[in-house]
Structure 1
């Protein structure tokens, strides 16, 4: 599966994918910008939710 085909990303991948720290990912969740999904012990974010929040903040 190509990187662009991924629906979810691990929290640890967010610095590479979005240029944000893990702490920023959790702050975004606390602010209600996106959800964090659990798969056993793995924490995931939906890539489209994070991208939409980034685009919305860039427009504001």
Structure 2
């Protein structure tokens, strides 16, 4: 059995496949200063751990509002 290795960065073009969120949403969040898009040459990258932390905090905030 092989262990699944989680990538450190994911291309913005692949973000919808990885996170289930449209890439335009990532651009909107970046413009609002909520996440950061990293550039490597012509590639736009998202740091997986940053996005996961942002989504976790966002989910917790929504749960707090609902209760």
TM-score range, shorter chain: 0.7 to 0.9
Structure having the higher Rg: 2
Aligned counterpart, 2:31: 30
5 Å-filtered alignment, 1:1-60, equals 3-4=5-6, 6-60=7-61
RMSD: 1.1
Structure 1 residue 34 displacement after superposition: 1.3
Name structure 1 gaps, 5 residues minimum.
none
* Number of residue-to-residue matches in the alignment: 58
| TM score, norm. by length of structure 1 | 0.87
2:21 aligned counterpart, secondary structure: coil
Name structure 2 gaps, 5 residues minimum.
62-67
| TM score, norm. by length of structure 2 | 0.79
